[in-house]
Amino acid sequence: METNNTIGGTSAQVKRDNSEGERRMAHPIKHFRVITKHRHTVMKHCFRAGIPIRGLLHDLSKYSPTEFLPGAKFFDGSRSPTELERAAHGYSRAWVHHKGRNRHHFEYWTDYHPVTKQMVPVKMPLKFVIEMFCDRVAACKVYKGREYDCASPYEYFARGSAKKRMHEDTGALLERLLVMLRDEGEDKTFAYIRRDLRGKKDY
């Protein structure tokens, strides 16, 4: 998952980050560990949800040089490296590369509306919505650590603006799964996805 990308800070702060950007110490091993740990958690979720192939393929582009090198350079244990890359360069090449290749991100699913010619969100295929759910739960576990409980992913979603930026039906399904997780727990939600949802043609 890409975390909340707002940069809280003044322009002076951004400038300082910018100058630091050029002489940062890279942390390739720490970055490798973080992305691999995240991948493994998502994989476990995807297996429980009945989409093992999506689990095995999840976030593999993070090991490509375009994503890995800035990830290591801007590694900071508490914030997403893409946030710091953005502060330093005005945008994150790693994120642009990532969202353009990974179909579990709703940001991938945008296109020009055939009539209005405006860029609009496109309805995500079901398996990628499930993968997105698995990803969000995994990311939330890492950010919250011991404070994580099964309501945390819903709370994060409810606070953020993601729902407004994805296709209506996609947002509604993701929300429904996060509410189910909050109210009925992980076992029931993954069992529901695996048995009742995964095989559906549409949602």
- The site for Zn ion (CB under 5 A) is made up of 59, 102
127 vs 192 by CB, closer to Zn ion: 127
Size (the chain), residues: 203
Task: Provide the minimum distance between the beta carbon of 11 and Zn ion in the complex, in angstroms, as a whole number.
Answer: 29
Q: What is the number of other CB atoms lying within 10 angstroms of the CB of residue 55?
A: 21
Task: Provide the minimum distance between the beta carbon of 61 and Zn ion in the complex, in angstroms, as a whole number.
Answer: 8
CB within 8 Å of 108: residues ≥ 6 apart: 99, 100, 101, 102
Task: Provide the minimum distance between the beta carbon of 102 and Zn ion in the complex, in angstroms, as a whole number.
Answer: 5
Q: Residue written as tokens 């691999």?
A: 36
**Distances 170 to 113, 136, 199 between C-alpha atoms, Å:** 17, 14, 16
Cα(79)–Cα(14) distance, integer angstroms: 14
68 vs 192 by CB, closer to Zn ion: 68
41 vs 102 by CB, closer to Zn ion: 102
Q: Residue written as tokens 């740990």?
A: 37
59 vs 85 by CB, closer to Zn ion: 59
Task: Provide the minimum distance between the beta carbon of 131 and Zn ion in the complex, in angstroms, as a whole number.
Answer: 9
